[in-house]
Amino acid sequence: MLNRNNLRCLLAAAATTVLTLPAMAQNYAQDSATIKKIYDNALTSYESYENLRYLTKNIGARLSGSPQAAAAVEWSRQLMEKMDLDTVYLQEVMVPHWVRGDKEIGRVINSKLVGSADMNILALGGSVGTGGQGLSAEVVEVKSFEELEKLGKKKVKGKIVFFNRPFDNRHLHTGSAYGEAVDQRGGGPIAAAKLGAVAVLVRSMTNDIQDVPHTGSTRYEDGVEKIPAAAISTKHAEQLSRLLKDDPSLKFYMRMTSQTLPDVLSYNVIGEIRGSEKLDEIILVGGHLDSWDVGEGAHDDGTGCMQSIEVLRVFNELGIKPKRTIRAVLFMNEENGLRGGRKYAEVAKAKGEKHVAAIESDAGGFTPRGFGLDGSKEQLQAVLAWKPLLEPYGLHDIAPGYGGADIGPLKGQGSVALIGFKPDSQRYFDYHHTEIDTFEQVNRREMQLGAASMASLAYLISEYGLSGGTAKVQK
């Protein structure tokens, strides 16, 4: 039995223990409860999904410089103005205006095996046209720039160069395979033109074998002739390769009427909730509002934009007062110029703005897997410390990685951490830059989970920052 003195001692010891309990346990319970509220709200709201429906179905494809891109700017500005944010504004940026023109024609002709055979091609963004009559020439197939160089002018001049390097499907993350293959799309026309080629065909950037060609941006170089460049579907790339093995002298006919018009004034669309304590420290969440002119730009990147707006809606609806400013940025012209991302970084630098973190969603609206962080070791450790709070929601893949194209120009401005939201990558390149990137391909719940993931990380960074004190997560 305890006497009075012993009881007094035990109570005193207990009180001391409570007072010295690590703040981490208390913060874990509070932060866990807040994150649960974020997910509950996002998963029971249809708002972001319906916003995506309007963007894709009522406005549609939004190539920079197009009337649809202009409509998307005005619609998204009005959407955020209705949310009672602290500020919503447009940021001017001049963007390129490339137009595809007539539907492309691609056809094998004079083949000893099939005679004539239509093939699915799509002009690469920025490509010149072939002229009204089109062009035809023999085809030379290569799988690398080294192989092209070895052929030399003698074997390349006057021909169509067919770049046919496939994705390496041994990569678990399809973005890695994309990164290894996409140089032939971007630099192929320059390398081929230097050797006298008249045009370029590039195997579509996808790990699937499908009929659908994938567009994407290509480049030219001053002083090097600009030659037409088109993507060919992977199914027809395989067929063309087989035909060439048996009939190296076959010819390919292609017709494209694409052209580049003068630059057009457009805008980044920006909305924010100001921080309650450190309003000068900015946490950016964003995606790109423009898309290619085929399909509806749903996964690329309508989902990223609507998820970014959803972060602000969730904060507002739950009454979460972020300590640091949360800013949603819908960038213009990621696809064929990155002018919006560069302009944003330029203005931020001129204003002396302090970005703590920038979170970009530009990998589709699929099931969340985690985040890739381009920043310091200290910043990575800060995010890893929150893993017990994030893992219950499937966010287990937190590691050094790529932040994103639009936020990339911020690198080097102070100690900003560039963070790429990582959904499951396995299906993304089925739809990327194609006519089948439509609203119907986006799963509502997967998209909602992505928005909640971004909002949860933004909340934790707002509470604790990414240097110095971090959230305490011991249970």
**For residue 145, what is the domain's CATH number?**
3.50.30.30
Question: Could you tell me the CATH number of the domain that includes residue 420?
Answer: 3.40.630.10
Average pLDDT over residues 295-319: 98
pLDDT band at residue 111 under the 50/70/90 scheme: confident
What whole-number distance in Å separates Cα of residue 297 and Cα of residue 335? 11
Which range of residues forms the domain containing residue 195? Answer: 103-257
> What is this structure's pTM?
0.92
CA of residue 123 relative to chain centroid, distance = 21
Tokens of residue 328, six digits: 């949603």
pLDDT at residue 101 tops 70: yes
Same domain, yes or no, for 136 and 89?
no
Same domain, yes or no, for 319 and 220?
no
Same domain, yes or no, for 219 and 289?
no
Same domain, yes or no, for 385 and 404?
yes
Q: Each residue of 412-432: pLDDT tens digit?
A: 999 999 999 999 999 999 999
pLDDT band at residue 297 under the 50/70/90 scheme: very high
Q: Look at residues 211, 229, 257 and tell me which one is the last residue of a structural domain.
A: 257
> Is 5 contained in some domain?
no
What whole-number distance in Å separates Cα of residue 110 and Cα of residue 119? 14
pLDDT at residue 16 tops 60: no
pLDDT band at residue 25 under the 50/70/90 scheme: low
H or E element, residue 348: helix 339-351
Average pLDDT over residues 440-455: 98
> Is 299 contained in some domain?
yes
Question: Above pLDDT 70, what percent of the chain?
Answer: 93
Same domain, yes or no, for 397 and 328?
yes
pLDDT at residue 471 tops 50: no
> Is 370 contained in some domain?
yes
pLDDT band at residue 19 under the 50/70/90 scheme: very low
> Is 14 contained in some domain?
no
> Is 8 contained in some domain?
no
pLDDT at residue 405 tops 60: yes
Same domain, yes or no, for 204 and 342?
no
Q: Look at residues 215, 241, 257 and tell me which one is the last residue of a structural domain.
A: 257
H or E element, residue 429: helix 428-431
Q: Each residue of 213-237: pLDDT tens digit?
A: 999 999 999 999 999 999 999 999 9
Q: Each residue of 336-365: pLDDT tens digit?
A: 999 999 999 999 999 999 999 999 999 999
Q: Tell me the one-letter amino acid at 343.
A: K
Same domain, yes or no, for 208 and 342?
no
Active-site choice (334, 335, 360, 463)? 334
Domain count, the chain: 2
Local structure of residue 410 (DSSP, 8 states): G
Range of lowest pLDDT (2-16, 78-92, 169-183) = 2-16
Same domain, yes or no, for 41 and 61?
yes
pLDDT band at residue 26 under the 50/70/90 scheme: low
pLDDT at residue 328 tops 90: yes
334 flagged as catalytic = yes
What whole-number distance in Å separates Cα of residue 257 and Cα of residue 11? 85
> Is 471 contained in some domain?
no
Cα–Cα nearest to 453, from 290, 273, 303: 303
Average pLDDT over residues 246-273: 97
pLDDT at residue 4 tops 90: no
Same domain, yes or no, for 109 and 88?
no
Q: Look at residues 201, 223, 257 and tell me which one is the last residue of a structural domain.
A: 257
> Is 152 contained in some domain?
yes
Whole-number average pLDDT of the chain = 93
Same domain, yes or no, for 246 and 292?
no
> Is 140 contained in some domain?
yes
Same domain, yes or no, for 139 and 277?
no
Same domain, yes or no, for 225 and 294?
no
